[in-house]
Amino acid sequence: MSLRILSSICTFIIAVASCAGETLEGTCSLIYQKKDAKAEHTVEFGKIVKGKCQFVLTDFFGESSVIANGEFENTGSQKMNFHYYVAFFDKSKRMLGAAAYSNSGKYGVIGPGQKTRASSCIIRIPDDLRDQISSYQVTFYESEYIEAVKK
């Protein structure tokens, strides 16, 4: 096995092993707001990369949608990567929709003190199901960015 391949495998193992994750879940009943929608539920998470997401059920280009965008800040002293996942469920724990946002790899690094936003976490919910949202689950992974060894 070449030194380059071995180095890449070690880098991957270290990155995966150092990935901290957490899952938060709770109840939420979102009321459909057609205009001037205000966030109805806020969830905060993260150890080094601090995340805050807000949920609102509104009209997005003519379709009922949950907007679950987030704001993230790296409060540490090292470059970080992170992954944010959010899902909504009915009372029977049937998933009604989900969204994800990843900030990873060389071009997705969030540096110390930097902030970024996930503004694409929009979940289309059919009109006949939008009143059935009763809970959410947020999973968040964060890890130190480890630059691959170059030959």
The kind and range of the H/E element at 126 are none
Predicted local distance difference test score (pLDDT) of residue 53: 94
The pLDDT assigned to 37 comes to: 78
Mention every residue, 6+ apart, whose C-beta is less than 8 A from residue 70.
51, 52, 53, 54, 84, 101, 117, 118, 121
**One-letter amino acid identity for 20?**
A
Give CA–CA dist 136/120, Å, rounded. Answer: 17
pLDDT at residue 143 greater than cutoff 60: yes
pLDDT exceeds cutoff 60 at 50: yes
- Compute the average pLDDT of residues 36-55: 90
Structure tokens at 144: 């130190």
* pLDDT computed for residue 14 by the predictor: 42
Label residue 15 exposed, middle or buried (CB < 10 Å: 0-12, 13-18, 19+).
middle
Higher pLDDT: 5 or 47? It is: 47
Between the alpha carbon of residue 95 and those of residues 30, 66, 91, 125, the distances in Å are 15, 13, 10, 11
| Mean local confidence (pLDDT), 111-135 | 93
Mean pLDDT score, 116-145: 93
Lowest-confidence segment of 12-16, 84-88, 122-126 by average pLDDT? 12-16
What would you measure as the largest C-alpha separation in the chain, in angstroms? 60
Euclidean distance between CA atoms 151 and 143, whole angstroms = 24
DSSP per-residue codes, 54-111: EEEEEEETTEEEEE--EEEEE-SSS-EEEEEEEEEE-TT--EEEEEEEEE-SGGG-B-
pTM of the model: 0.80
For residue 149, pLDDT over 60 is answered with: no
pLDDT of residue 17: 42
User: pLDDT digit string (tens) for 52-111?
Assistant: 999 999 999 989 999 999 999 999 999 999 999 999 999 999 999 999 998 876 777 899
> Quick one: pLDDT at residue 145?
83
Domains and CATH numbers, the chain: 3-144 (2.60.40)
